[in-house]
Amino acid sequence: MRLSSKVVNQSKPIILFLLIAPSIFWIVMLVQGNLGVNPIDKLMDELGQMALRLIIATLIISSLSEFKLLRALQNIRRMIGLLAFYYVLSHFLTYIVLDHFFNWEFIIKDLIKRPFITFGFINFVLILPLVFTSTNTMVKKLTFKIWKRLHSLIYIIAPLAALHYYLLTKADKTEPLIYLGIILGLLLWRFYYKIIIKFI
């Protein structure tokens, strides 16, 4: 049975709520003092992981919607992408405001010295054009072809995000390696699908 657009569109508000809910939960926990004894670190960690998961979700949606039966999934990809940005931005602001409280001199030094922060920041910059061109008007303005090319930036953003996580992990790197593996698998699949299947 084909997944209908109607079902996908109707479930949008629920998905939106479910994906925003964790951030509200963490902020309430933070204010109540229930995020453990190092709450800023914890919050930054949770927000960053959520951002990474949602970035991966957009890649999965793209791959799945190649199948005719699941084509309707395309309708939620933009929302998931914007939610990913919501978490990227919160993660970034937690670092700037809560962790270092606008200590720019320090932040710039950190940015230059620590590769994982450099990659994180590059990613933050790379994701911005995707956000600004997310409206239908912008797709029309750019033409679909250029818009699509611009949005293939996600193939750089996703592995960089996983690399950022990998580099900051001190001990057990299993989790970041799993994310990296999923991303590389999805990229290989897209490559295979686009180049090999379409042109044969």
Partner 1 sequence: MKILGSEITPYKTYLNRRQFIQSSFASVATFTLASNLYASHNKSQNQYSDQLSENDVLNTYEEITTYNNFYEFGIGKSDPSNFSNKFKPRPWSISVEGLVTKPGMIDLEDLISNFTIEDRVYRLRCVEAWSMVIPWQGFPLKDLIKKVEPLSDAKYIEFETVYRPEEMPGQKRKTISFYVPWPYTEGLRLDEGLHPLTILSTGLYGHDLLNQNGAPLRLVVPWKYGFKSIKSIVAIRFVKEQPKTTWPLINPGEYAFYSNVNPNVDHPRWTQATERRIGEFFRRPTSMFNGYAEEVSDLYKDMDLIKYY
Residues in contact with partner 1 by CB under 8 A are 36-38, 40-41, 98-101, 103, 106, 109-110, 113-116, 167-168, 170-174, 177
The CA angle 166-76-197, to the nearest 5 degrees, is: 75
Task: Give the residue ranges of DSSP H helices in 1-113.
Answer: 5-32, 39-64, 74-93, 104-113
The minimum distance between CB 73 and partner 1, in angstroms, equals 32
Query: Which of 111/142 has CB closer to partner 1?
Result: 111
CA-based max dimension of the chain: 59
Query: Which of 113/145 has CB closer to partner 1?
Result: 113
The minimum distance between CB 33 and partner 1, in angstroms, equals 10
The minimum distance between CB 179 and partner 1, in angstroms, equals 12
Residue with tokens 């996983």: 162
Query: Which of 117/154 has CB closer to partner 1?
Result: 117
3-state SS, residue 37: coil
The minimum distance between CB 162 and partner 1, in angstroms, equals 13
Query: Which of 49/134 has CB closer to partner 1?
Result: 49
Query: Does residue 51 contact residue 88 with C-beta atoms inside 8 Å?
Result: yes
Query: Does residue 59 contact residue 183 with C-beta atoms inside 8 Å?
Result: yes
